[in-house]
Structure formats: structure tokens, C-alpha cells
Amino acid sequence: MNLTRYMIENIKFKPGIFFLVWFTSFTFFITPLIGALTVREIFNHLEGIVAIEVNIWSLVVILLVVNVIQIIFDVFWAILQIMFFMSMRLLFRRNMMNGLYAQYGANPPPYSPGEAISRFRQDAEEAAYFPIAMADLLNFFIFGVIALLLMLSINSEVTFFIFLPFVFVVILVNAFRKRVAHYRSERRKATGEVTSAIREIFSSIQSVKVNTSEKNMLEHFEQINNKRAQAAIKDEFFGSLLRATRTFIVFLATGIMFLMISAPMLAKEFSIGDFALFQYLLNWVTGFISYMGESIARYHRTTVSYNRMTKLMRGKKVDISEDDIVKASPLYLRNPFPSRTIPEKQSVDHLENIIVKNLTYRYPDSEKGIQDVSFTLRRGTLTVVTGRVGSGKSTLLKAFLGLLPSSGTVWWNDDLITDIPKSFRPPRAAYTPQVPNLFSDTIKENLLLGLPENPEQMQEAINLAVFTKDLEEVEKGLETVVGPKGKKLSGGQQQRLAAARMLLQNSELKVFDDLSSALDVETEKIFWEQMFRIKKDNTYLVVSHKPLVLQEADNIIIMKKGKAEASGTLEILLKTNPEMQRLWEGRFENNNN
């Protein structure tokens, strides 16, 4: 990982703002230097040493003007710094989110939500501030060189002996750079564990109370919180130790200065103005050396943050480059987000048939999954996948849609598909899982998901999904907020709302995973009658064991132990296949056999 290259990419993302940040930061250093030189001349005038023929009151006015200019530029510097910092932080978060969406599909990320939040929050902030810190370091360096030259011009011997202790600071910080990175990494990891625990506690309150496990839960939370506290103490202690060492060196250098300049001052070889300037410059130069030590530690902390963010973004997907973490993307900070649109159907999107051969997927470290499943879908047909619990029905749908990294071949209208996840999106395919994903937003927003509103299409989808009556019964209709994960709606209402959302996509292929499992008999009957009514213009792939759906199916695929045991119409399978006979008669146990 090349941190310098990443920083350059960050600067290129917002070059104008960054230049202004650097420039206003530069004035933060230069205006005090002008002020310090002015102060020296004021003291020299008071002492009777006149190097510049300027009235003392003119020098006072210059000093006041310089201070006003510094205040103005400091305000602009603070505003511009925040603008650049927030833009970069948002870019990192966007790129991490893009990576998460691109790689996992139906599999959860390998990191806990708390750990992921820690990387989105703390690591993104650390990396976003790094270019600003380096701009300050550059200005510190420029100012330090100028200050050092001025100090050498005043008294080279004192300057030389003052700077000897600071060599120790650089050696010390560089020697402990790995320890700095280690403690910061452990602190971030422990913080992620605590955040995850808080999420799990809030999502499992009912289970905890039912099992009277409050005490055990609190003890566990206390343990991981203590672990985080210990990691934070180590990180803070080590950082404080380095800062204290640097502060001690500053005081030591100041003491050396006082000892060495006392004799020249008594001999009138060192004026009061020179002393005031020397003392002021010493503070800034020692501040530069101290800041350089902090920057070395920051460099290693930022490296840790970049590593953590890229690991979250990339996961195990090798085609995601680690450089994508700094990839420029529009942020829409001022302009509204563009409306989500479904690509217009092209001739290649029109579905005539889909051929699937040898579709295979195994869950990691497990023998479960599907193996060598082959089938064909034709336009205007209903294909039902059925089987016992654990036979691989849902896995088949997810692998078919590219939500799981499966092997096998898939053809769309006799064209081989090379990128399944991208090929099975609207307008080609739409999918509704058995447990729909709803957001804590209004019913309308859960239906549209960013699509531009078309009242006629939306009402048609609501009618087809048998959701009209439910919409009339809720207090605010389409503007009703459904709560987190749609908890204000019943299971059946959630499924039908998700079905209406899918129907709005107007896709060629509609994939349902046991969608009517939570519907009452009458509602289920009306729902499927609606689907059958529009079947001639649609193609369905459905997981179901309901007799109503099986009877209407053009083709039934029977899954058993991850394999397609048989396929055909209900009539043929009831005559020829024992598994179908058991399923139809309900004589099977809900197990994974």
C-alpha cells in the first residue's frame, strides 16, 4: 500500500479546496512570523536600537493588521478544512459501501456490523484527515527552515546546541512506530466488538427477558467493554508518553537557550528584541519537531486505517482493487441525488427461454448447497421449485440469480451469460425473498426505492399484490411509516408489499421465494389468481409447496439433498415420483434429509 499515492489521489479529488486549505494554513504560519519580526523591531526601538527607520506606532499598527489578517485566514482555514475532510470521509464511505454491495450477494460480510461501523466511522475519519495533516507538516517545515535560518543569523552556537535534543525525539518515535500501529489496531478492533454487542443486545431484548439472561448479558458486555477500555488505555498511554517526552525535550531546549544567552545579553551582544524573536521562533521550531514526531505516528495509524477499509471493501473478491478505496465518485453534496431508473428494455432483454446447466454451489466449510442442477424456463410459464426443508430450494434461487458465487452455465435466449449478477437485474429479472427487506420509511418509499413516482403503475402493482385493502386500513396510506424491518406490518403484509415492489420493476422474469408462506388461504388464493391472470406476459420461477401453485405449474422441480431429483408436471410426478407423492400427501418430516 502506497500511502503517498493515495494522498495524491485524495488531493486530485478536490484539488481546488485542498489548495485553499494549504494556502490558508500557510498564512497561519507566515503572518505570525511577520508579527514576530515586527515585535522585535518594537523592542529594539524601545531599547534604542533602530535598524529600520519606522515610527514605533506604525509598527504597532502593522502588528494589529497582521493579527486581524491571521484571524480572518484562520476562519477560512477552518471552514475549508471541514469541507475537504467531510468530502474525503464521504468518498471513503461510499467506496466501502460499493465494495460491500459488489461482493457478498446473499452471504453476510465476514465482519460484524460493529466492526464495519468502526471502519466506516473512525478509519474513514483518520484517512480523511491525513492530507490536511501533511499540508500542515509541509507548512511547518517551510516555516521551520525560515525560523532556523533566522535563529542561526542571531546566534548559530545557541541554535546548534538547542537542536541536539530533538534528534532523540525523531529516533524515539521511529523506533516505536510498530507499537503505535499495533495499539491503534487493537483499539479499533475492540471498539468494533462493543458496537456489535450493543446492536445484538437491542435486537435481542425480548429473547433476553424471556430467558431471564439480563445478568449474563450485562456480564458479557462488561467483559468486552473492559477489553476495549484496556486497549484504549494502552493506546492513549503510549501516545501520551511520546507527547510527554517531546514536551520534556522542548523544556530542555528552552533551558539550554536561557543558559547560553545570558552571557551575550549581559554583554549587549543579544538584544531584548533578538531574545523575544528567538524565544518565539524556538516555540515554533520545537513545535515543528514535535509535530513531525506526531506525523510519523499518524502515518502508521493511517496505514492501519487504509488496510482496514480496503479489507472491508474487497473481502475475498479479487477483481476489486485496493486502489478503489480512493476512486473518485460523485458525492452530490450540493445537487440532489439522481433519480433511480430501470434501464429501458432492449431486444436482447426480451425473454424467450433460459437454459441452466450443472448449477452448483457449496456453503463454505459445509457439505450443504446444491449440485449439478439443470432446468429450462420458457416465456409465459410457471416453474415451481419444491422439496423438503433444507433440500436447497432457496439456495437454488440465489445461485441462479448470482447472489451466491456458483458454478455452471446459464443461457439467456441461447446467449451465454458471463456475468450472472448483472444479467439478472431489472428489466430482465426481479426477486422477492421469503423474508422481505423493508426499510424504516413510508410504504411509498419502500415500493419505489428511488424510482420516479408513476401513480398508475404503482396502483396497478398494489392491486395485483392484493395490498389495496391493507393500504386503506392504515392511518396515512402510502405515507405510513412501516418501522424498522417493516415491524408495523404483519408478515403477510410485508410479503405483499415486497411483491408489489417487485411488480413495479416490470421485469421479464419474476422470482418468488415461498412468497405466500405468511398469507391466509383466501388472500393467497386471490394473490395467485392475479399472478396467473398475467402469466402469459410473464415468466415465473417460484419456490412453493402450496397445492394451488403446484396445480398451476407448467413444470415442477423436486429438490432433494441439494439435487434436482425429478421434474415435470404435477400429474406426471404424482404418478412416477415417490418424493412428489410424499410431498403432496404431506407425509414427510421437516428435516434436512
Please tell me the predicted confidence (pLDDT) of residue 421. 87
- Beta partners for 343? none
Q: pLDDT tens digits, residue range 486-527?
A: 888 888 889 899 999 999 988 999 999 988 777 788 888 898
Please tell me the predicted confidence (pLDDT) of residue 174. 65
Please tell me the predicted confidence (pLDDT) of residue 52. 64
Q: Which of 43-47, 66-70, 422-426 has the highest mean pLDDT?
A: 422-426
Please tell me the predicted confidence (pLDDT) of residue 587. 55
- Tell me the Cα Rg of the chain: 34
Mean pLDDT calculated for residue range 358-378: 92
**Do the Cβ atoms of 304 and 181 come closer than 8 Å?**
yes
Residues with Cβ within 8 Å of 258's Cβ and at least 6 positions away in sequence, in order, are none
Please tell me the predicted confidence (pLDDT) of residue 173. 65
357 falls in which pLDDT band (50, 70, 90)?
very high
- Higher pLDDT: 39 or 354? It is 354
Q: pLDDT tens digits, residue range 446-464?
A: 999 888 888 899 999 999 9
CATH class given for the domain over 350-585: alpha beta
The mean pLDDT value of the chain amounts to 84
Residue 267 has pLDDT above 70, yes or no: no
Q: Which residue's C-alpha cell is 457449496?
A: 362
Query: Grid coordinates in use for 591?
Result: 428435516
Three-class DSSP category at 479: helix
- The yes/no answer on whether domain 7-325 falls in CATH 1.20.1560.10 is yes
**Do the Cβ atoms of 351 and 510 come closer than 8 Å?**
no
DSSP 523-547: HHHHHHHHHHHTGGG-EEEEE---H
Please tell me the predicted confidence (pLDDT) of residue 592. 40
Q: What is d(CA 467, CA 138) in angstroms, rounded to the nearest whole number?
A: 63
Q: What is d(CA 352, CA 381) in angstroms, rounded to the nearest whole number?
A: 10
User: Alpha helix locations (H) across 267-380?
Assistant: 272-314
Mean pLDDT calculated for residue range 227-241: 82
Q: What is d(CA 434, CA 432) in angstroms, rounded to the nearest whole number?
A: 7
CATH 1.20.1560.10 domain extents, the chain? 7-325
CATH 3.40.50.300 domain extents, the chain? 350-585
Q: Which of 95-99, 275-279, 339-343 has the highest mean pLDDT?
A: 95-99
Q: Which 8-state DSSP code applies to residue 452?
A: P
Q: Which of 103-117, 238-252, 257-271 has the highest mean pLDDT?
A: 103-117
φ, ψ dihedrals at 439, nearest 5° = -110, 155
Stated pTM of the model: 0.73
Q: pLDDT tens digits, residue range 546-562?
A: 898 999 999 999 999 99
Please tell me the predicted confidence (pLDDT) of residue 424. 92
593 falls in which pLDDT band (50, 70, 90)?
very low
373 falls in which pLDDT band (50, 70, 90)?
very high
Q: What is d(CA 517, CA 434) in angstroms, rounded to the nearest whole number?
A: 8
